[in-house]
Amino acid sequence: MFPQEQREDMYHVYDLDQEHIQQSVNGEGDKRTAIESVIAENCQRFDSLIQRGADLRGADLRGADLRESEMTGADLTRADLTRANLAEANLTGANLTGAILCEADLTRAILTGAHLAGALLRDATLIGANLTGAILREADLQDGSDLTGANLSQAHVSHEQLGQARSLKGAILPDGSKHYP
């Protein structure tokens, strides 16, 4: 583990507050486009994004590095997050309806109460993710989504969908039972 002073040098926290968004918009354009642009321009330079309730509907965030991001309540409907790194991100109550999360890393992400209906989660990594109460109706978990150790208690997901996952080893299932292979 690194000493705190070294950690602060290694990681940048990027807070997209309203003032920064306004500066990006410069009085023209729309707020969603400004947020998407700032993320795209800076995704290689920060590990943590703080943007609660962001409107990122349809945003192109392919390959974005959003580790440890605070995106509680964000609207990511139909956003493309293919190969995005969302490890340890807080997406509590986020709307990811129809989002593309193919090959995304959601290791230890918090998705409590998130809406993932119709989302594409093909080959996504959800190891240790908290999906308590998440809505996964019609979400596509084919091609090896890894739900090892994930918490799916009270999640809205079918047995058929769970059967598509590469691994459920140690996962807590919607009925509260633990999956043993």
DSSP code string of 11-79: --EEE--HHHHHHHHTTSS-HHHHHHHHHHHHTTT-SEEE-TT-B-TT-B-TT-B-TT-B-TT-B-TT-
pLDDT at 110: 98
List, for the chain, all residue ranges whose pLDDT scores fall below the cut of 70: 1-51
pLDDT in tens, 55-86: 999 999 999 999 999 999 999 999 999 999 99
39 in a domain, yes or no? no
In the block, tokens 């409907």 appear at: 77
Which residue range forms the structural domain that includes residue 138?
A: 54-181
pLDDT at 52: 74
Q: Are 130 and 147 in contact (CB under 8 A)?
A: no
pLDDT at 4: 36
36 in a domain, yes or no? no
Q: If phi over 0 gives left and psi between -120 and 50 gives alpha, with beta otherwise, what is residue 88?
A: left
Q: What angle do CA 32, 9, 125 make, to 5 degrees?
A: 55
148 in a domain, yes or no? yes
pLDDT in tens, 79-95: 999 999 999 999 999 99
32 in a domain, yes or no? no
74 in a domain, yes or no? yes
pLDDT at 45: 40
Closest listed residue to residue 38, CA positions, set 8, 75, 66 = 66
pLDDT at 54: 85
Pairing of strands 48-50, 13-15: parallel
Rounded to the nearest 10 degrees, what angle do helices 18-25 and 31-42 cross at? Answer: 100
pLDDT at 29: 52
44 in a domain, yes or no? no
pLDDT at 113: 98
18 in a domain, yes or no? no
CATH code (residue 164): 2.160.20.80
Using CA atoms, how far apart are residues 17 and 161, in angstroms rounded to an integer?
Answer: 38
102 in a domain, yes or no? yes
Q: Which tokens hold the place of 118?
A: 């119709």
Using CA atoms, how far apart are residues 172 and 154, in angstroms rounded to an integer?
Answer: 10
Number of independent structural domains in the chain: 1
